[in-house]
Copies of this chain bind each other. A is one copy, B any other.
Amino acid sequence: MPLTDDQQREIDAVRAGRAETARPTVPALEALLARALPVLDHGFVRVVDYMGDDAAVVQAARVSYGRGTKRVSEDAGLIRYLMRHRHSTPFEMCEIKFHVKLPIFVARQWIRHRTANVNEYSARYSVMDREFYIPDAAHLAAQSATNRQGRGDVLGPDEAAEVLRTLRDDAARCHDHYLAMLNEDEAGQPRDPSRAGLARELARMNLTLNTYTQWYWKTDLHNLLGFLALRADAHAQYEIRAYAEAMLGVLDAWVPLTAAAFRDYRLGAVTLSAPMLAVVRRMLAGEAVAPRDSGLSSREWAELQAALTGG
């Protein structure tokens, strides 16, 4: 995860700069402000700034519910209650801003979370760096036979080697040609004075989707939880999940009570439909319910079994 000189200077400045503030401050998260957490082969996640903490969630809830919240004596209990009942607005009162370096195909999934603020490095203005995501062989999986969007077994060593060679060669060749079309060297000077050089906004179309980009991404705690619930899930593509898992670590440092409630009531929770509930009630009454008598489709039956056995 090579940082550019500019990025390293920015981080060094953060590490050096200290100021006094009357704002809510989280020491465990302060410690992460000057650290780029590595993700994948060249990517990273870094917390740039934050607003609020667990107490800010509680403070907002107490404004809304006023005297009513006096009955919930502890912050942890109130946060768990809010999380369980999907009272989302108090969680919107905290905000976090990340600097993220990520492959373009991951950025394309990520950007679908619309309630966020984004400033992405622009290939209309600047030349893209020569960095591509090349998976570990351990993550080179075959298409799943049972799940249209999933991965199956890991590829054998020969097939994996060939895939890796292809990914590397194609990304590198496309980037070489990108620079050649630009006719620009690293310092932005023309390489061949007899050529005009293609506009950056056009040349970029020759890059492959595993090229790394970067952005500042800012969102509130409620929407961050929504992102993590989807992207730290086992059904998410491994590559975006790797980012979500790094961000889960940030969540633990930032808002530990919220993070614990999130794990219990969102990540580890299961929603049972009305027909599923009916089956569970029959089971609890001692009945041995067979799939065909359950009133569930075979897919729903399988989902219920997975929920009840933790599978």
Q: Which residues of A contact B (CB under 8 A)?
A: 10, 14-15, 17-25, 27, 30, 33-34, 49-52, 56, 59-61, 63-69, 71, 77, 80-81, 84, 89-90, 92-93, 95, 97, 99, 103-105, 107-108, 111-112, 114-115, 117-122, 124-127, 133, 135, 139-144, 148-153, 155-156, 159, 163, 166-167, 170-171, 173-174, 177, 180-182, 184, 188, 195-202, 204-210, 214-216, 218, 220, 237, 263-265, 267-277, 280-281, 283-284, 297, 299-300, 303, 307-310
From residue A4, how far is it (CB to closest CB) to chain B in Å?
11
Q: Is the CB of A182 within 8 A of B122?
A: no
Q: What number of copies of this chain does the assembly contain?
A: 4
Known: A18-B20, A49-B52, A277-B308. 18 other contacts (CB 8 A): A22-B34, A24-B49, A52-B97, A61-B119, A68-B122, A89-B118, A95-B95, A105-B205, A141-B199, A152-B199, A159-B195, A163-B181, A170-B173, A207-B209, A263-B274, A264-B275, A269-B277, A277-B307
CB within 8 Å for A81 and B299 given contacts A21-B25, A141-B199, A308-B281: yes
Give CA–CA (A181, B270) in the complex, Å.
Answer: 36
Chain B residues in 8 Å Cβ range of A210 = 205-206
Chain B residues in 8 Å Cβ range of A33 = 22-23
CB within 8 Å for A155 and B196 given contacts A149-B122, A273-B265: yes
CB within 8 Å for A199 and B143 given contacts A14-B22, A50-B23: yes
Q: Is the CB of A199 within 8 A of B151?
A: yes
Chain B residues in 8 Å Cβ range of A163 = 181, 198
From residue A7, how far is it (CB to closest CB) to chain B in Å?
10
Contact partner, A274, options B51, B155, B264, Cβ 8 Å: B264
From residue A204, how far is it (CB to closest CB) to chain B in Å?
6
Give CA–CA (A139, B205) in the complex, Å.
Answer: 14
Which single residue of chain B is at the shortest CB-CB distance from A268? Answer: B274
Chain B residues in 8 Å Cβ range of A207 = 208-209
Chain B residues in 8 Å Cβ range of A90 = 119
Q: Is the CB of B272 within 8 A of A122?
A: no
Chain B residues in 8 Å Cβ range of A273 = 84, 264-265, 268-269
Give CA–CA (A140, B65) in the complex, Å.
Answer: 22
Chain B residues in 8 Å Cβ range of A237 = 124, 201
Chain B residues in 8 Å Cβ range of A218 = 92-93, 95, 220
